[in-house]
Amino acid sequence: MTLIELHSSTVLVTGASRGIGAAIARTLHGAGASVILHYSQGAAEANQIAADLGPERVQLMPADLAVPGAGPELWQRAVAWRGSVSAVINNAATMPAAPISADWPQWSTAWQDTLQVNLVAVADLCREAIAHFQARGGGTLVNLASRAAFRGDGPEFMAYAASKGGVVALTRTIAKGFAADGVLAYAIAPGFVRTDRIEQVMAERGADYVTRDIPMGAPADPQDIANLVAFLVAGLAPHATGATFDINGASYFH
């Protein structure tokens, strides 16, 4: 068995203050990585994670990725911390509802914000990272997509599904285009994951609302995603570059 050991890695994790991002940050840090915890609105949660992990290998970095240009600015601060970054985990996302019955301002704002955070900011960070990785002989990108990229989502979340489909296409294109430079790019497509948001949904609408189309009978634990991220960042499956990993309890087509 190969031990996951990341002591030589500096990793930027976006949306790291809660849920999947927090689990990823804690897991990578536990494997020895130096971790840049990006957050937007979750300052208290991010500070708590940093306090739990200790100051030596953790750096907090706020940025509002809904603002155009925030990604490259975040990248410059991330590189400045230790002089280089070896992996980026693009986890930050937003999911505002926009039914077709919504008025135009709500519809338009939801689409613009969703695409900016979930796809454009991801592409911006990938662009910066690729150039950096080319100069240092390689690096790893892990982009969080969703099962919605493949099976769609509720009609009020068309923007979310479309943005995550874009993440998959972006990741595959990067993998094809920059493999020769040592740039590895992977996508992970979770279904329902037991985050605070999903716990709230289950409390409000009943557990069956979430679990009825999951053959395994329960949402995934955030640790499932975090474990896979650590495996990929450790470079243990380089020829899987371009792949999308489903973590959805076999809820592909329901």
Contact present, 37 and 58 (Cβ < 8 Å): yes
Contact present, 247 and 45 (Cβ < 8 Å): no
Residues contacting residue 159 through CB under 8 Å, at least 6 positions apart: 96, 98, 110, 111, 114, 115
User: Residue 198 sits in a domain of what CATH number?
Assistant: 3.40.50.720
What domain range is 104 assigned to?
A: 10-247
φ, ψ of residue 207 to 5 degrees: the values are -60, -30
Reported pTM: 0.95
For residue 167, being part of any structural domain is answered with: yes
The tokens describing 56, both together, are 């030596």
Closest-CA residue to 59 (of 94, 24, 89, 33): 33
How far apart are alpha carbons 187 and 168 in whole angstroms?
A: 6
For residue 57, being part of any structural domain is answered with: yes
For residue 77, being part of any structural domain is answered with: yes
Contact present, 41 and 54 (Cβ < 8 Å): no
Residues contacting residue 155 through CB under 8 Å, at least 6 positions apart: 99, 100
For residue 202, being part of any structural domain is answered with: yes
Which pLDDT score, from 0 to 100, does residue 254 have?
52
For residue 44, being part of any structural domain is answered with: yes
For residue 3, being part of any structural domain is answered with: no
How far apart are alpha carbons 225 and 245 in whole angstroms?
A: 10
Q: Would you write out the chain's pLDDT as a tens digit for each of its 254 residues? A: 457 999 999 999 999 999 999 999 999 999 999 999 999 999 999 999 999 999 999 999 999 999 999 999 999 999 999 999 999 999 999 999 999 999 999 999 999 999 999 999 999 999 999 999 999 999 999 999 999 999 999 999 999 999 999 999 999 999 999 999 999 999 999 988 878 788 887 888 888 888 888 888 888 899 999 999 999 999 999 999 999 999 999 998 75
Q: ∠ at Cα 131 (146, 139), nearest 5°? A: 60
For residue 5, being part of any structural domain is answered with: no
Q: Which residue has the tokens 């592409």?
A: 123
The structural domain count of the chain equals 1
How far apart are alpha carbons 140 and 129 in whole angstroms?
A: 9
For residue 254, being part of any structural domain is answered with: no
